[in-house]
Amino acid sequence: KKKDTQESSSFDKELFKRSVLYNVKTLYRKTLEEATPQQIFQAVGYAIKDVVIDNWLTTHKEYDKQDPKTVYYLSMEFLMGRALGNNIINLQAYKPVKEAMDELGLDLNVIEDQEPDPALGNGGLGRLASCFLDSLSTLGYAAYGCGIRYRYGMFKQEIRDGYQIEVPDNWLVDGNPFELRRPEYAKEVKFGGYVNVRIDENGRSNFVQEGYQSVRAIPYDLPIVGYGNGIVNTLRIWDAEAIECFHLDSFDKGDYQKAVEQANLAKNIVEVLYPNDNHYAGKELRLKQQYFFISASVQEAIAKYMRKHDDIRKFYEKVTFQLNDTHPTVAVAELMRILMDEYYLTWEEAWNVTIKTCAYTNHTIMAEALEKWPIELFSRLLPRIYQIIEEINRRFIIKIQEMYPGNQEKIRKMAIIYDGQVKMAHLAIAAGFSVNGVARLHTEILKKQELRDFYEMMPEKFNNKTNGITQRRFLLHGNPLLADWVTAHVGSDWITDLPKISKLKIYADDEKCQQEFMNIKYQNKVRLAQYILEHNGIEVDPRSIFDVQVKRLHEYKRQLLNILHVMYLYNQLKDNPEMEFFPRTFIFGAKAAAGYYNAKMTIKLINSVADVVNNDPVINGRIKVVFIENYRVSNAELIFAAADVSEQISTASKEASGTGNMKFMLNGALTIGTMDGANVEIVEEVGAENAFIFGLSSDEVINFENNGGYDPTEIFNNDPDVRRVLMQLINGTFAPNDPDRFRTLYNSLLNTISTNKADMYFILKDFKAYAEAQRKVENAYRDEKRWARSAILNVACSGKFTSDRTIQEYVDELWHLDKVVLPKKV
């Protein structure tokens, strides 16, 4: 009954082999033997695209017929990861394709490894967008992802002498077999100039932008293949090209100058992804990027709607715009502009459409991430959009005054334009029908703290959508051994219905199952150890505990707490070489924003500690520290599969949700973490006895913050272990030639002079509790049966954290999309 999910009845293996050989011939004039690995990847990619294209066509033919409501997921970032393996998985063709490759004498793993890892995103927010697209297709909902086709995505990280070096990632050099250029859908996007009132031929007075510069937006479509259902949605990313100028040979210097400027604008706009995560920097080019892809996407959404309908006033019945954080918020003003200036709706009519179309997701409470644009910059770059926002603001302030007569404080705190700045979050909240946080705790903090005034004024808009991840990429593709084992025990339903994985619970106490599980984990650790040896030249023991923290480097995520604890363990072992100690491998992976000094010094510290500890004969391999270079989606899949311990140790209240925590859980790692973000819900599902929770609660942190922080010197003075570790930051233990190297990290923990705030992230405050939790981890691991039981229960209790569940909640409560079913193939 349970058919092997890797088998696709309709997949023609022989045809596929011929297709690959044919592609090698026509693309490169080569035989398979002559082709390079990259050329073989391209040939295989095009062969898969052939299969996908048919489903893509059918899907859109059906959308045309059924006219389902469509969500446009507007996002500056999509951290897609490699497409080849994922597409094969979702076509349910992995086994036949693997066989086909074997028969051609090729290794599918090696071919997959040739694909550049598209990194059009920073971290959590971009990866979430990608998981959502996978779920939307798999659940059969009509959706577009809309974003930017950056020439250079996230930088490639190289580690030299322990420091991060950023190297441009030219991901498109060899061409992308999956993308489709669609010049027929190009759009013009206008910047700058001024707004004029013109009387048109019908006698209507109309706002027009004049003296502007413009660029042509050209869409590239990428297929998003649903799992086993034939649905293929579209990720549409926009490239910028110069508008051809026919006056280049004219003697008019103004025209020539303008042509050159427009060409430059086009080239610059999509050049590179800003590599900041959770940090706003007010760059003009960033605002250009935002308006560029939003204007093009909104224009196309409206054009597409008008191809089938005649009343733009009912746009919201067929379309929702989901704003992925505030980055795409100019969409609300762009929609207003087109409705009023191009479709002649009144303000009231246009507003009614806009507020029923747009919805906003908040992803962070870090104050430094809030987008506030200087009026001068904003109005100069987007004069008509700024006018519209001024009017939205004027009317919003009237509403505030109606509700809170005479209360200037409310206006000061809530206005969209105030103090010379345009506040994008306030605009997104005022102009949409929904505001959601990304985990229960996060949404509660938004309601009670960060967005309290807005919640009190418009409580009906606020809701929670706890994040999720796709089990197709992060278990089925990333961990085939565990995926097969799960399927052997509970069937394959979990692939599209993750809560079914709870049937594993009955095996948690089964000793044979425990052994099988630990054996699979061991093999995955061997696989990762090989990767580490190849890429870092460090030998690690797969029998040691693999303790992993992989995520963007940020002070609030507290990689510093982790490495300080490693230093503390090192001191203990040095003092007492004979003490009982279970060997442990501390694995880090993290990119730091290029200008974030403390983050970069934390990377250097991790590598410096690694140098000392890994080579100390007294330690004798019992502690190993590994910094995995260039952490990204493709190696993440290997890392999650091999982890025993999942480090989720952010300062409570700071991590909106986290999604890595869920990927570890799904792969049977045990969490050591704070009660922050979605950790709260993870512990609720798996039980506190199957995780290691420590540290301040979010209420305690917020209390300290509201009372001016806490004083870490007391801990420094009274705790000799902590004091010793801190002194090692400034006495040259890990920097013999430059003892002051880590002084700024030391200062961030203790010195109130430079920053006026010491230990803002409560690292010293939580240190003892963390060390204690780590002792419990070690003891638990000694009892292999108990550990295996907990690990299996983590897998079994991960059902809630599928992005399929998250998307279904968005659909049921906010988007109200129609489910699309394809006609059965004959």
Positions annotated as catalytic residues are 363, 551-552, 557, 659, 663
Which residue stretches of 751-783 are H helix?
A: 752-755, 763-782
- Which residue number, 295 or 329, has a Cβ lying nearer to ligand 26M? 329
Does position 248 bind ligand 26M by CB under 6 A?
no
Torsion sign over Cα 399, 332, 145, 166: negative
User: Does residue 164 contact residue 591 with C-beta atoms inside 8 Å?
Assistant: yes
Q: Does 323 bind ligand 26M (CB under 6 A)?
A: no
- Residue 277 or 637: the one with the smaller Cβ distance to ligand 26M is 277
**Is residue 291 involved in binding ligand 26M (CB under 6 A)?**
no
Is residue 363 involved in binding ligand 26M (CB under 6 A)? Answer: yes
Q: Is 153 in the site for ligand 26M (CB under 6 A)?
A: no
If the CB atoms of residues 559 and 657 are measured against ligand 26M, the closer one turns out to be: 657
Q: Which of 35, 119, 296, 438 binds ligand 26M (CB under 6 A)?
A: 438
Our finding on whether 125 is near ligand 26M (CB under 6 A) is: yes
Helix, strand, or coil (residue 233): strand
Size of the site for ligand 26M (CB under 6 A): 23
What is the distance between the terminal CA atoms of the chain, rounded to a whole angstrom? 22
625: amino acid identity, one letter: V
Q: Are 748 and 759 in contact (CB under 8 A)?
A: yes
User: Can residue 424 be called a binding residue for ligand 26M (CB under 6 A)?
Assistant: no
User: What is the rounded (10 degree) CA torsion for 177, 181, 182, 183?
Assistant: -160
Maximum separation of any 2 CA atoms in the chain, in Å: 92
For residue 286, state whether it binds ligand 26M (rule: CB under 6 A).
Answer: yes
CB count in 10 Å sphere of residue 249: 8
Q: Are 586 and 562 in contact (CB under 8 A)?
A: yes
CB of 495 or CB of 760, closer to ligand 26M = 760
The answer to whether the CB of 486 falls within 8 A of the CB of 795 is yes
For residues 193 and 211, give the distance between their C-alpha atoms in angstroms, rounded to a whole number: 4
Q: What angle do CA 125, 126, 128 make, to 5 degrees?
A: 65
**Is 42 among the residues that bind ligand 26M (CB under 6 A)?**
no
In DSSP terms, 120 is beta-bridged to 78
Near ligand 26M by CB under 6 A: residue from 467, 524, 646, 803: 467
Binding region for ligand 26M (CB under 6 A) out of 362-370, 395-403, 631-639, 805-813: 362-370
Q: State how far the Cα of 6 lies from the Cα of 212, in Å rounded to an integer.
A: 54
Query: Which one, 294 or 528, has the nearer CB to ligand 26M?
Result: 294
**What number of other Cβ atoms are within 10 A of residue 710's Cβ?**
20
* Residue with the shortest CB distance to ligand 26M: 124
**Alpha carbon of residue 146 to chain centroid:** 15
- What b/e string do you get for 468-488 counting C-beta neighbours within 10 Å, with b at 16 or more? bbbbbbbbbbbbbbbbbbbbe
Residues 476, 89 contacting (CB under 8 angstroms) = yes
**Rounded to the nearest 10 degrees, what angle do helices 124-139 and 803-810 cross at?**
80
794: three-class secondary structure by DSSP = helix
Minimal distance, residue 113 CB to ligand 26M, in Å: 27
Query: Taking the complex as a whole, how short is the minimal distance between the CB of residue 501 and ligand 26M, in angstroms?
Result: 21
Instruction: Mark 50-89 with x for binding to ligand 26M (rule: CB under 6 A) and - for no binding.
Output: ----------------------------------------
Structure tokens at 467: 């994040």
Q: Does 474 bind ligand 26M (CB under 6 A)?
A: no
Binding mask 257-276 vs ligand 26M (x if CB under 6 A, - otherwise)? -----------------x-x
- The one among 15, 53, 281, 727 contacting ligand 26M by CB under 6 A: 281
Residue 369 as a binder of ligand 26M (CB under 6 A): the answer is: yes
Residues 496-555 close enough to bind ligand 26M by CB under 6 A: none
Closer to ligand 26M by CB, 610 or 656: give it.
Answer: 656
For position 122 contacting ligand 26M by CB under 6 A, the verdict is: yes
User: Is the CB of 277 or the CB of 516 nearer to ligand 26M?
Assistant: 277
Q: Does 128 bind ligand 26M (CB under 6 A)?
A: yes
Query: Which residues 676-715 are close enough to bind ligand 26M by CB under 6 A?
Result: 677
The interface region with ligand 26M, picked from 67-75, 124-132, 250-258, 625-633 by CB under 6 A, is 124-132
Out of 115, 450, 644, 655, the residue judged to bind ligand 26M by CB under 6 A: 655
Piece of the chain touching ligand 26M by CB under 6 A; list 107-115, 116-124, 288-296, 492-500:
116-124
How many CB atoms are located within 10 Å of the residue 411 CB? Answer: 14
Pick one of 73, 132, 280, 627: the residue that binds ligand 26M (CB under 6 A). Answer: 280
Give the closest residue to 103 by CA, choosing from 10, 25, 13, 37: 13
The encoded tokens of residue 291 equal: 């308006």
State the residues that interact with ligand 26M by CB under 6 A.
122-125, 128, 274, 276-278, 280-281, 286, 363-364, 369, 438, 467, 655-659, 677
